[in-house]
Amino acid sequence: MNKLITTAIDYVNGSPHLGHALEKIYADVYARHLRRKNKVYFLTGTDENSLKTVRTAEQEGVLPEEIASKNSLRFYEMKELLGLSYNDFIRTTEKRHFLGAQKLWKACEKDIYKKNYKGLYCVGCEEYFKEEELIDGCCPIHKTRLEEIEEENYFFRLSKYEDKILQIIENNEVEIIPKQRKNEMLSFIKSGLQDFCISRTSKRARGWGIDVPLDSSQKMWVWFDALSNYITALGYFNNEKNFNEFWEKGETTHIIGKDILRFHAIYWIAMLLSAGLKLPSKIMTHGFITVNNQKMSKSIGNVIDPFELVLKYGKDPVRYFLLSEFKPTGDGDFSYEKFEKKYNADLSSGIGNLVSRILTLIVKKDLIGEEIIYFNEYEDYILKCNKHLEAFEFNEALALIWKMQKELDGYIEERKPWEITDKRELVLIFSKLVLALRKIAFMLEPFLPETSEKILKFLGEDKTKINVLSREMLFPRIKYD
């Protein structure tokens, strides 16, 4: 079946940080896993039509398009940096997006009306808040004072869809993962849904953004604009093949941060219902990363740059830490000390040492070119690994692979092949080990694609023979000063 995997699209008022990398890696693992049996379209991109883009540009004395282009490129460069396999990168300043977003607006016109409005707006969230939602008069997310806005804007009749959305989420027509987040959305809906503002004046937007159809005095609210990227990138405006194959006839999984679930599970569903379009199948929400148990903040100076991290340690070690250290649906903490300890224990002394040990013994025992004797073992590991992947339990899947690695280390210690001289017995032992390494490489591919590829290259393409084409060190040990 056709599968669409999407991430949130990122604001371009700044450069990527480790939290952005985390989400893209989660989506990449899931997409790689699904590609084994499905046709997959993996979509990501940048959200460029926000007030934040305008204000950052004003502060730097440049045009918004300069800020958008510079930072969008940095987000795009994460593809190579992190080994991401996405099929498309959408920028919301592209023509295909403008036309598609305006088409969606028109499709929702029966539920759109205009009125005067006064409210408290957080530019960081790009959202209005009620007084009772504030903490000490500040945004609950950004801890900043809100701006009081009074103007005439367009509104969407969200209240009309309250019962329908409640039913959809209760019945898992759109599955929200984890269940805790589903319950949060149900509670929010039951408190009563209010119509929400979906435009701002062109004056307040400084002329930046997508015009409301037939009313250039108004720009689309950035979230109405941004959410539509999931279909505009697929060719919604022209009803192109990808839109029909992957949205209308396929299954969609949104992978997003827990802080923007309301937009996806409520606003986005309402917009799709209004437009008569198919709903997504799943919304998987992930947690946040702290650094030394503190929220990442420019003012504190603890923002982790993924480019610097990969340059220092490599892409697969970064992927491994983020995927194995904590549960995807929960929060996690990063520190360089944790990273380096995990690198040495799991990668250098773990999987890296196992591969090196097996290949070195094959050479020492002169087994290159021997015919493989086949063993049908470790299939249960693959089945269990796949189940964890389906459930977004990436840390559990990796723990399972590392359990197999330790089991193989134990097998080597038990058999002591360095003491064996009988060729037939050695071929039996190393046939089992080589076949097991191939299965580990297979299971590792969604998580650590470079490492998986290297292991298979070391073993050679001929699966009928024991071979060693290279003994390059997979993960050189980190030496402490």
Catalytic residues: 17, 20, 122, 125, 139, 142, 295, 298
- CA distances to 44, 50, 101, 187, 278 from 9, rounded to whole Å, are 6, 12, 15, 26, 20
User: Do the beta carbons of residue 232 and residue 275 sit within 8 Å?
Assistant: no
Query: Tokens for 440?
Result: 């580990």
**Residue 397 in 3-state DSSP?**
helix
Long-range residue pairs from 410-419, CB within 8 A, at least 24 positions apart, any chain: 412/357, 412/358, 412/361, 417/361, 417/365, 418/361, 418/364, 418/365
CB-count exposure of residue 217 (10 Å: 0-12, 13-18, 19+) = exposed
Indicate the length of the chain as a whole number: 481
Alpha-carbon gap, residue 446 to 451, rounded angstroms:
10
Which residues, including other chains, have CB under 8 Å from residue 469's CB and lie 6 or more apart? 457, 458, 459, 460
Taking the mean position of all CA atoms in its chain, how far away is CA 381? Answer: 25
* Residue the block writes with tokens 């282009």: 69
Alpha-carbon gap, residue 210 to 202, rounded angstroms:
9
User: Do the beta carbons of residue 128 and residue 139 sit within 8 Å?
Assistant: no
CA nearest neighbour of 286 among 331, 226, 223 = 331
* Residue the block writes with tokens 């958008």: 68
User: Do the beta carbons of residue 233 and residue 247 sit within 8 Å?
Assistant: no
* Residue the block writes with tokens 């405006």: 237
User: Do the beta carbons of residue 281 and residue 323 sit within 8 Å?
Assistant: no
Question: DSSP assignment, residue 473?
Answer: -
* Residue the block writes with tokens 């591919």: 445
Which residues, including other chains, have CB under 8 Å from residue 363's CB and lie 6 or more apart? 468, 471
Alpha-carbon gap, residue 328 to 389, rounded angstroms:
11
Alpha-carbon gap, residue 338 to 327, rounded angstroms:
16
Strands 251-257 and 2-7, sheet pairing:
parallel
Q: Could you count the other beta carbons within 10 Å of the beta carbon of residue 327?
A: 15
- CA distances to 123, 217, 229, 284 from 266, rounded to whole Å, are 20, 27, 16, 14
User: Do the beta carbons of residue 159 and residue 193 sit within 8 Å?
Assistant: yes
Taking the mean position of all CA atoms in its chain, how far away is CA 123? Answer: 24
